[in-house]
Amino acid sequence: GSLSNQQLALDFYETPAFTMRGNDAETISGQVAEGINALNQKNYGQAISALQSVPADNEYYIMSRYYLGHANFLNKNYAAAENDFSEVMNANDIRFQDDAQWYRLLSCKAQDQDCEDMLQTILQNPNHPYFEKASQLQNQ
């Protein structure tokens, strides 16, 4: 296609709703809440510093890493975003795994790299929620 990989990635990227998932809203506090609020205000620098400071033993660590990936992507730090989404993916948290796979692929594409392995991971699973989008991306 004539579109650059970076432009493709940006075209396919959809900002998710940055919310405290489930019934956790009351119990999420500190850096996680601050990071999510900053994301919603498109204050990506502030979101990144808040979410990066969430310790690994925090029960919302994986969620904060997932949102950190989005903050980095939206701030055009695509390599950092790819690392964040990889970490989330490898945590095997069912709530974030499929999304992390898809956004990791877009983060890779945005760096104009060969992301065929990541693409195939999704395409090998017809039940993947991003299967259709991955097929469209492949055909671009």
Q: How far is CA 140 from the centre of its chain?
A: 21
What residues make up the domain containing 31?
Answer: 5-138
Would you state the pLDDT for residue 2?
46
Quickly list H helices, 1-111: 5-12, 30-40, 44-52, 61-74, 78-90, 97-110
Would you state the pLDDT for residue 1?
43
Per-run averaged pLDDT (10 residues), the chain, 140 residues: 76 80 61 91 96 92 96 97 98 94 97 94 96 93
Domain count, the chain: 1
Q: In this structure, what CATH number is given to the domain that contains residue 16?
A: 1.25.40.10
